[in-house]
Amino acid sequence: MHTVGETRYNHWFDGLALLHSFTIKDGEVYYRSKYLRSDTYKANIEANRIVVSEFGTMAYPDPCKNIFSKAFSYLSHTIPDFTDNCLINIMKCGEDFYATTETNYIRKINPQTLETLEKVDYRNYVAVNLATAHPHYDAAGNVLNMGTAIMDKGKTRYVVFRIPAAVPEDKKGTNPLKHTEVFCSITSRSLLSPSYYHSFGVTENHIVFLEQPFKLDILKMSTAYIRGVNWASCLAFHKEDKTYIHVVDQRTRKPLPTKFYTDPMVVFHHVNAYEEDGCLLFDVITYEDSSLYELFYLANLNQDFEENCRPTSIPTLRRFAVPLSVDKNAEVGSNLIKLTSTTAKALKEKDDQVYCQPELLYEGLELPRINYARNGKRYRYVFAAEVQWSPIPTKILKYDVLTKSSLKWGEEHCWPAEPLFVPTPGAQDEDDGKTPGRGAHLPQSACDHSSNRDIVWEQCDPPSPAPVSQSWWKQALKPRSVGVQSSEFKESLKAPSLLTPTVS
């Protein structure tokens, strides 16, 4: 919902959350939807205008009656209380389902009726101010998620936390969130400008976290209300910085000692990650800058995109490879990746640094999904929305990372959303997601050009060569300087705590 009364949100990531439910049964699909009755929704509807700030829209509570309450209402926002408009994803915790966004709030929902239930503040269970809407699950259903603890006990950290699927026998009936534990944490390079991240990767033994130069400016955030600017303006891409690749060993819960890094980039979605012959490979959708967020201002979306809003970088699937153990005596400049399955490189540098150069897999895709049974493992298929020079997808894509071929589906007057892969119960093949009885016995492979149930997949040309703007390789040739901790970082250590997460 992008308008409330006479007011209108500015950005696509602001709209009031709408829950969707699809039930696929006996060859039919049943659909229902309902607005999430968040506190934000209720306050807006009651005031008949937008009164709670979202990512791209700064809003103020009901007009204040007098100067004192006005001053109070500004001051009370010095520590921002974020929105509970959980518009990004659905998370399963034990038997419970939650609608999620990236703030400290999640909302329990009834998956059958789509009713909105309790509002949960992550900060009651783990000290985080923000958390991703893309948690991971292990085979037992335990949740692994990441959040940022801003200036907590003098430090800003990226915290990996685990919510168990089941509670201990003697605590039966209690909420699994009460048993949340910190799995590990990574100290942010900067106290006042931690990286923004939308997802992270896991393999069977490791966790991959990209500390990218797309950063939140905490000082800007803490003064955003007074300055009347939105949260989006507190995010900035620092093209002069590097992207640090943190790899945590799940067995020791400690980051690997080698400093892995790559060129500056922006990543929203990790597709998958896995281990192969002593290397960790991870596939991500990369951008050269943060222009994606600018594209999604509704004012831009109302115009003719192709004409006015060409993104400066298109979403590109890239594969990175990181060696899990680095020989200290390896020659500087040597490639530590000996795999034949990828052209991604990891170049040894001095001072325990390794520069990673990815392999380009495919250009023009977003909202990636996989068969989640393959998460953290070797896999073959990416299901995604195809996005070329317009952010509105018109096709879904099935990309085969092994053969590097792809199939596309599109139909006139159809605009696909994020494709969700639902495996056939008991399926053996990774891409077996067919409804039994409706062509389920046809062979399944990326080379299958034939009619796939009612869906006609179209075989596609191999990806076109990278356009000139995709300057990864050129940049890779430039000399790279070793990162130093900025004076801002040292200064910030003296600053008082602005956002203190609470744990009870």
Ligand X SMILES: CC1=C(/C=C/C(C)=C/C=C/C(C)=C/C=O)C(C)(C)CCC1
The residues of the shown chain that bind ligand X, judged by CB under 6 A, are 13, 54-55, 82-83, 88, 101-103, 130, 198, 231, 268
Beta strands (DSSP E) in 122-265 are 130-131, 136-137, 143-152, 155-163, 181-187, 201-202, 206-211, 214-216, 235-237, 243-249, 254-255, 259-262
Q: What is the DSSP string of 69-101?
A: HHHHHHHTTSS--------SEEEEETTEEEEE-
Q: In angstroms, give the least distance from the CB of 413 to ligand X.
A: 25
With respect to ligand X, which residue has the nearer C-beta, 201 or 255? 201
Q: How far is the CB of 366 from ligand X (least distance, A)?
A: 7
CA atoms of 51 and 4, how far apart (whole Å): 10
In the complex with ligand X, which residue's Cβ is closer, 2 or 378?
A: 2
CB of residue 353 to ligand X, shortest distance in Å: 30
* Neighbouring residues of 209: CB distance < 8 A, sequence distance ≥ 6: 146, 158, 160, 186, 197, 200, 201, 245, 246, 247, 248
Place of tokens 């699909």: 29
The answer on whether 269 is annotated among ligand-binding residues is yes
Name the pairing type of β-strands 136-137 and 143-152.
Answer: antiparallel
Identity of the residue, 144 or 236, whose beta carbon is nearer to ligand X in the bound complex? 236
Name the token pair of 20: 């969707």
CB of 68 to ligand X, least distance (A): 27
Q: Which is nearer to ligand X, 55 or 158 (CB)?
A: 55
In the bound state with ligand X, the residue whose beta carbon lies nearer, of 88 and 167, is: 88
Minimum distance, C-beta of residue 19 to ligand X, in the bound complex (Å): 15
The helix/strand/coil state of 44 is helix
β-strand pairing of 353-357 with 259-262: parallel
Nearest distance from residue 12's CB to ligand X, in Å? 8
Contacts of 37 (CB under 8 A, 6+ apart): 115, 116
CB of 369 to ligand X, least distance (A): 13
DSSP secondary structure string for all residues of 224-239: HHHHT--GGGGEEE-T
Picking from 196, 190, 135, the residue whose alpha carbon sits closest to that of residue 161 is 135
Minimum CB distance to ligand X, residue 96 (Å) = 22
- 56 vs 94, beta carbon nearer ligand X: 56
376: left (phi over 0), alpha (psi -120 to 50) or beta: left
Contact between residue 118 and residue 108 where contact means Cβ atoms under 8 Å apart: yes
Whole-angstrom CA distances from 219 to 81, 242, 434, 499 are 15, 22, 51, 10
Task: Indicate the residue among 133 and 360 with the shorter CB distance to ligand X.
Answer: 133
The CA-based angle 95-101-107, given to 5 degrees, is 45
- Judge whether 134 is annotated as a binding position: yes
157-168 residues labelled b (16+ CB within 10 A) or e (exposed): bbbbbbbbbebe
Smaller CB separation from ligand X, 176 or 315: 315
Minimum CB distance to ligand X smaller for 87 or for 337: 87
Q: Flag whether 77 is marked binding.
A: no
Q: Which among 182, 142, 179, 177 has a CA at the least distance from the CA of 161?
A: 182
Q: How far is the CB of 375 from ligand X (least distance, A)?
A: 18
Q: Which residues are annotated as a binding site?
A: 134, 198, 269
Binding residues for Fe cation: 134, 198, 269
